[in-house]
C-alpha cells in the first residue's frame, strides 16, 4: 500500500513537472539568471555607467538573480532577443521580479523593452537615449513613487515619437520582500498592471483618461495666432464708480486702543524684576575673564513674582477700538463691460490622427538602465509570454515560494518588535492610500511635504496614526486656503504682561525640508564654541 502511494505521488510530481516545463516552453523569452549572465547579457561600455552588476543569490534563498551591487551609481545592461517580439497581435505579457534588499529611497528598478537596433543604437553603447517601446517597473525618489508604464508611439502625421505615461499608476511596495510586476497588453487595447498577481490598475491605450498625453490627439486645438483684443474685459466685478467713502470713516483709527478703565491689580510688585541672578550659580572653574569676558550668573524667575499678580512696570492693557474700520474700499458691482474669460478660437489640429489600436514598435532587446542611491536591487525571472496563464504559472513556481518564506520571516520580526500581523497589514494599506492621496492634482504643490511625512512613517511604523494626522492637517490647511483665499487671521495686539503670562516654550516640530535641516546642522557644526554669559530675554 505504501509503495502504491509513493508511486502515485511520483506520477503526480512528474505530471506537475511536465506541465510546468510545457508552460515554460510557451514563453517567448525567459531569463532565470540560474547561470552567470556574462557572455549572454552585455554591460554598457559608456563612461557614465560605472555600477558593477553581480550574479548573486537572493538573500535567504538559493535562487540567483542579477544584482545591483554598489550604491550611488548608474547601471546599464542589455540582452538581445533571438527574434523581435511583436506587440500588435494578440496578448503580450511582460513580467519580472525585483527584490529591494536594502530598500529603495531614491532610484529605479524598471526594465526597458527596446526597439530593433535599426532605430539607431548598439548594445555596447546602450544607455538612456537608446530607443524603447515600453518602460515598465518601480521607481521611487522625491515626489516620484510609482510603478511606471510608459510607451513610445510614432505620430503618423509628424513622424515624431511621443512618450505616453500611465496616469495614476500603482505605488511601489515599501518593504524588502520579493515582488513580481506584470503588465498585460490585450488585443482589445486594454492594459492590466498586476503586482504579485493582484490587479492594481486597468487602463485603455486609446483613452485620454488613462494616458498623458493621450495617444490620439485632440481634433481641434487653440489657434496659436489668435490674440486677445486689447479692449477685452475679463473682470466680472468692478468697484462701484458711484460709491464714496462716508464722512465719518476714519482710515487712520488704530485697531486697538489702551483700556482707560483698566486698573492695576492689587499686590502688583512694581519694584521687583521678573528675573533675578541665580543665587545658586557659581563661575565655572575654566572660565577665562580675558577670553570669555566678565562672568555673570544666569537669570532665573523671580520667586516673589510667583505669588503676586505681576512684577515690573504695569501698563494698561489694549482693547479693540470701536472706531476702527480699516481701509475703505468701494463695494463691487457687476461689470457692464464683462465679456468672460478670453480663449483663442479652436482650429483643426494638423497632427490629429485616428487609430483602432496602437502601432507599437516590436521589442528586440531587454535593457536595464537605472540610476540608484541604493545597492541590493535584485532582478530575476524576466518573462515575455503570449498567455496570461504562462505568467501565472511562473509566479506560482518561481516567485510565490520565495515570497511566502520572506513574509513569514518578516512576520516573526514584526511580532518580535511588537507589531501584529493585522497592524502591519493596516499600515501597508494606509501608506498605499497616502501615496495615492499625494498624487491628487490639487495637492501637487504640497506633494513633496506629504511624501516626506509618509517616508518618515514607513521608517517608523509605530507612528502611523501620527502620519495620518499630519497628512490630514496638510490637506485641511490647503482646503482652508482655498476657501478663505489664503488670508491669515488678524493678529491680536497684546500687552507685554499678557504676552509674558501666556507664553510657553515652543514644542513644535520643524517642518522644513531635509536639505534645510542638513544645511542648518552643517552651519552649527562649523561655528566656533560660544560660552553663554546670561540667559537672553
Residue 294 lies in a domain: no
Q: What is the pLDDT of residue 426?
A: 65
The residue with greater pLDDT, 465 or 263, is 263
Residue 274 lies in a domain: no
User: What digits encode the pLDDT tens for the residues 57-114?
Assistant: 999 999 999 999 999 999 999 999 999 999 998 999 999 999 999 988 899 999 999 9
The highest-confidence range among 353-362, 424-433, 511-520, by mean pLDDT, is 353-362
User: What digits encode the pLDDT tens for the residues 470-505?
Assistant: 767 777 777 766 666 544 444 344 434 444 343 333
Q: What is the pLDDT of residue 410?
A: 87
Q: What is the pLDDT of residue 170?
A: 93
Residue 344 lies in a domain: no
Q: Average of pLDDT values for 292-319?
A: 92
User: What digits encode the pLDDT tens for the residues 207-254?
Assistant: 999 999 999 999 999 999 999 999 999 999 999 999 999 999 999 999
Q: What is the pLDDT of residue 298?
A: 93
Domain check: are 428 and 401 in the same one? Answer: no
Cβ–Cβ < 8 Å for 286, 529: no
Domain interval for residue 39: 24-222+356-407
Q: What is the pLDDT of residue 516?
A: 36
Q: What is the pLDDT of residue 427?
A: 65
Q: What is the pLDDT of residue 105?
A: 85
Domain check: are 133 and 34 in the same one? Answer: yes
Residue 110 lies in a domain: yes
Domain check: are 66 and 180 in the same one? Answer: yes
Half-sphere exposure for 111 (CA within 13 Å, toward CB): 23
- Long-range contacts of residues 146-151, Cβ cutoff 8 Å, at least 24 apart: 146/170, 146/171, 146/172, 147/171, 147/172, 147/181, 147/193, 147/195, 147/200, 147/201, 148/110, 149/183, 149/191, 149/193, 149/201, 151/205, 151/358, 151/360
> DSSP secondary-structure letter at 255?
S
User: What CATH number is attached to the domain comprising 50?
Assistant: 2.60.120.200
Which pTM value belongs to this model?
0.65
Lowest mean pLDDT, pick from 172-176, 224-228, 388-392, 495-499 = 495-499
**Total of domains in the chain:** 2
Residue 327 lies in a domain: no
Residue 331 lies in a domain: no
Q: What is the pLDDT of residue 58?
A: 95
Residue 86 lies in a domain: yes
Domain check: are 478 and 363 in the same one? Answer: no
Residue 478 lies in a domain: yes
> Dihedral of the CA atoms 55, 374, 103, 126 (nearest 10)?
-60
Instruction: Give the Cα separation of 208 and 464 in Å (integer).
Output: 36
Q: What is the pLDDT of residue 461?
A: 60
Q: Of 445, 465, 482, which residue is a domain's last?
A: 482
Domain check: are 401 and 429 in the same one? Answer: no
Q: What is the pLDDT of residue 143?
A: 80
Q: Average of pLDDT values for 109-132?
A: 95
> DSSP secondary-structure letter at 395?
I
Amino acid at each position: 500500500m505504501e509503495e502504491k502511494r509513493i508511486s502515485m505521488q511520483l506520477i503526480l510530481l512528474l505530471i506537475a513537472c511536465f506541465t510546468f516545463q510545457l508552460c515554460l516552453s510557451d514563453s517567448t523569452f525567459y531569463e532565470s539568471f540560474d547561470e552567470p549572465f556574462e557572455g549572454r547579457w552585455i554591460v554598457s561600455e559608456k563612461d557614465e555607467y560605472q555600477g558593477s552588476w553581480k550574479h548573486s543569490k537572493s538573500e535567504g534563498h538559493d535562487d540567483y538573480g542579477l544584482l545591483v551591487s554598489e550604491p550611488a551609481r548608474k547601471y546599464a545592461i542589455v540582452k538581445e532577443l533571438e527574434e523581435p517580439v511583436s506587440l500588435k497581435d494578440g496578448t503580450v505579457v511582460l513580467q519580472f521580479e525585483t527584490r529591494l534588499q536594502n530598500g529603495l529611497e531614491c532610484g529605479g528598478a524598471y526594465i526597458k523593452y527596446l526597439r530593433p537596433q535599426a532605430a539607431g543604437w548598439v548594445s555596447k553603447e546602450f544607455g538612456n537615449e537608446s530607443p524603447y517601446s515600453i518602460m515598465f517597473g518601480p521607481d521611487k525618489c522625491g515626489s516620484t513613487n510609482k510603478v511606471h508604464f510608459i510607451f513610445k508611439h510614432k505620430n503618423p502625421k509628424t513622424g515624431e515619437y511621443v512618450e505616453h505615461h500611465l496616469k495614476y499608476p500603482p505605488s511601489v511596495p515599501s518593504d524588502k520582500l520579493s515582488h513580481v510586476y506584470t503588465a498585460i497588453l490585450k488585443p482589445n487595447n486594454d492594459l492590466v498592471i498586476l503586482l504579485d498577481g493582484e490587479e492594481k490598475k486597468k487602463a485603455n491605450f486609446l483613452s485620454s483618461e488613462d494616458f498623458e498625453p493621450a495617444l490620439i490627439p485632440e481634433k481641434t486645438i487653440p489657434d496659436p495666432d489668435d490674440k486677445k483684443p486689447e479692449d477685452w474685459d475679463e473682470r466680472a466685478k468692478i468697484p462701484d464708480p458711484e460709491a464714496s467713502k462716508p464722512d465719518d470713516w476714519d482710515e487712520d483709527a488704530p485697531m486697538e486702543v489702551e483700556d482707560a478703565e483698566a486698573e492695576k491689580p492689587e499686590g502688583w510688585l512694581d519694584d521687583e524684576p521678573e528675573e533675578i541672578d541665580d543665587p545658586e550659580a557659581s563661575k565655572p572653574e575654566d572660565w577665562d575673564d580675558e577670553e570669555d569676558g566678565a562672568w555673570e550668573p544666569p537669570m532665573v524667575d523671580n520667586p516673589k513674582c510667583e505669588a503676586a499678580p505681576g512684577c515690573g512696570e504695569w501698563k494698561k492693557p489694549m482693547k479693540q477700538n470701536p472706531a476702527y474700520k480699516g481701509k475703505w474700499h468701494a463695494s463691487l458691482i457687476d461689470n457692464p463691460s464683462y465679456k468672460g474669460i478670453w480663449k483663442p478660437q479652436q482650429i483643426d489640429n494638423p497632427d490629429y490622427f485616428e487609430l483602432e489600436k496602437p502601432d507599437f514598435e516590436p521589442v528586440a532587446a531587454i535593457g536595464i538602465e537605472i540610476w540608484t542611491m541604493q545597492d541590493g536591487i535584485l532582478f530575476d525571472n524576466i518573462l515575455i509570454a503570449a498567455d496570461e496563464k504562462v505568467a501565472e504559472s511562473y509566479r506560482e513556481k518561481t516567485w510565490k515560494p520565495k515570497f511566502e518564506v520572506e513574509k513569514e520571516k518578516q512576520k516573526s520580526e514584526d511580532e518580535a518588535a511588537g507589531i501584529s500581523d493585522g497592524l502591519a497589514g493596516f499600515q501597508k494599506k494606509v501608506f498605499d492610500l497616502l501615496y495615492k492621496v499625494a498624487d491628487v492634482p490639487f495637492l501637487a504643490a504640497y506633494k513633496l511635504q506629504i511624501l516626506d511625512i509618509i517616508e518618515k512613517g514607513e521608517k517608523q511604523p509605530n507612528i502611523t496614526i501620527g502620519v495620518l494626522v499630519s497628512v490630514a492637517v496638510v490637506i485641511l490647511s490647503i482646503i482652508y486656503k482655498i476657501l478663505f483665499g489664503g488670508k491669515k487671521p488678524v493678529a491680536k495686539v497684546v500687552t507685554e504682561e499678557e504676552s509674558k503670562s501666556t507664553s510657553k516654550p515652543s514644542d513644535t516640530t520643524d517642518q522644513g525640508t531635509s536639505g534645510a535641516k542638513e544645511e542648518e546642522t552643517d552651519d552649527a557644526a562649523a561655528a566656533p564654541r560660544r560660552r553663554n554669559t546670561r540667559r537672553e530675554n
